[in-house]
Amino acid sequence: MWEQIKSNQVRSVMLVAVIAALLLLVGYFLGLYFFQSGTGGLIIAFIVWAFMSLIAYFQGDSILLSLSKARKIGPDDAPRLYNVVEEMKIASGLENMPNIYIIDDPALNAFATGRDPSKASVAVTSGLLQKLNRDELQGVIAHEIGHIKNRDVLLMAICSVMLGTIVILSWYASRFLLFGAMSGSGGRRSSSRSGSGGGAAQVIILVVGLVLMILAPILAQLIYYAVSRKREYLADASSALYTRYPEGLASALEKIGGSTQQLKSANQATAPMYIINPLHKEGMKASDLTSTHPPISERIRVLRSMAGGASLNDYENAYRQVHTGKGILSKAVVSGVGVVGIRAASISEPGELAPASEKAARTREVSDMLLKMNKFRTVDCECGARWKIPPGFSDDSVLCTRCGRRIKV
């Protein structure tokens, strides 16, 4: 796995360099048109890139968690989730326990973020925690910890910021160029003194600049999305390895993909971070080239083709089987990999409905957690009723409508 991580890091540097080059190229043509010197535009673009990259490195995780409206929880808030994260942290060999966040949303999704494995966070929606059984939850958490272990989270944060910068800069720049061309202002005004030759050159710069403004965001997205999709497959392989139960993640992906709930806090900047793109549902006619994630059905097919074991080599063989011979992992990673057996399901058979008592327990767990996060208090009556007290309640007792007793708050 370390060889694959090193390979990812090399690709990451190349990816950042290509996207940075696109950003600088946009700045160069802007400077050439507005200031008659590409150097000025390059300097401005470099300053913008450096500033945004520093923000992404030092505050990227905080920004993403804030945009997602995620709130940090402790072991007492959601014991089942905390235990699963701890189990997968141990299984993956991660040294530090990730921070755990909850997004109060009925949609089913999760993501990981952080500067490095020692300062990482995992965020899940309340809907995911309520709907998934333990095996499925393990599969999702192992996938996200796979992103942390494989050093994906920092790259994704930096690239999201850089991609957003290119899109915004190109959008405004294209409109400035068009406005300048139609009004005769901007670069044309200062070059008009140089005669028809200068005017012709300015027209060429304008046309090339406009084409670049249109193509740069598209090219940056294609590069980023292609790498993002490959990292999703690698995280799926890591999940199968850490849990030794590929069906857990496959079943979870089925539930997440089949959910009709839309994640309210999702946007273009955070969408690539999630286990399934919250802005695109399975069956939508979006092009594969412009998708941040592989098709859900493909990911499930690969996981369910791992009949022989749960190792990286087994995942590679399953991937080749589904994709007619094409591989996803490097030879150095899969060579010499030992046998990793698939364990039995820990609760119920995947695809079957969980027992009513287990479903009710998960619903109650999530409800109690959200009430606690919103500073509600709970008091128990001798008759067995439990009452939830809102934070603004000022009386010293409450009436139990079941038995008629007064309960001290």
Same structural domain, 220 and 264: yes
Q: Which two tokens stand for residue 274?
A: 């999630």
pLDDT of 191: 47
Dist. CA 224–CA 203, nearest whole Å:
32
Same structural domain, 271 and 281: yes
pLDDT of 188: 44
pLDDT of 372: 83
Q: Which residues face 379 on adjacent strands?
A: 387
Same structural domain, 365 and 381: no
pLDDT of 190: 47
Same structural domain, 366 and 395: no
Same structural domain, 337 and 401: no
Same structural domain, 298 and 379: no
Sign of the CA dihedral with 357 first, then 362, 367, and 368 last:
positive
Question: Which domain covers residue 320, as residue numbers?
Answer: 1-374
Helix (H) or strand (E) holding 55: helix 38-67
Q: Which residues contact 114 (CB under 8 A, 6 or more apart)?
A: 61, 98, 120, 121, 148, 153, 154
Same structural domain, 366 and 383: no
Dist. CA 115–CA 50, nearest whole Å:
16
Dist. CA 335–CA 339, nearest whole Å:
12
CB 232 within 8 A of CB 299: yes
Q: Which two tokens stand for residue 281?
A: 């549902």
Same structural domain, 321 and 380: no
Dist. CA 62–CA 26, nearest whole Å:
29
Same structural domain, 297 and 403: no
Same structural domain, 85 and 130: yes
Same structural domain, 304 and 380: no
Which residue among 144, 232, 247, 316 is the active-site one?
A: 144
Same structural domain, 153 and 96: yes
pLDDT of 368: 84
Catalytic status, residue 144: yes
pLDDT tens string for the chain (409 positions)? 556 666 666 766 777 787 788 778 878 877 777 777 778 888 888 888 788 888 888 888 888 899 899 999 999 899 999 999 999 999 999 999 999 999 999 999 999 998 888 889 999 999 999 999 999 999 999 999 999 998 888 777 777 777 777 777 777 777 776 666 555 555 544 444 445 455 566 666 666 666 766 777 677 667 666 667 788 899 999 999 999 999 999 999 999 999 888 899 887 667 778 898 887 654 444 444 445 678 899 999 999 999 889 999 999 999 999 998 888 887 766 666 678 899 988 855 454 445 557 788 888 889 888 888 888 888 889 898 888 888 888 888 899 998 989 988 7
**What is the tally of structural domains in the chain?**
2
pLDDT of 304: 96
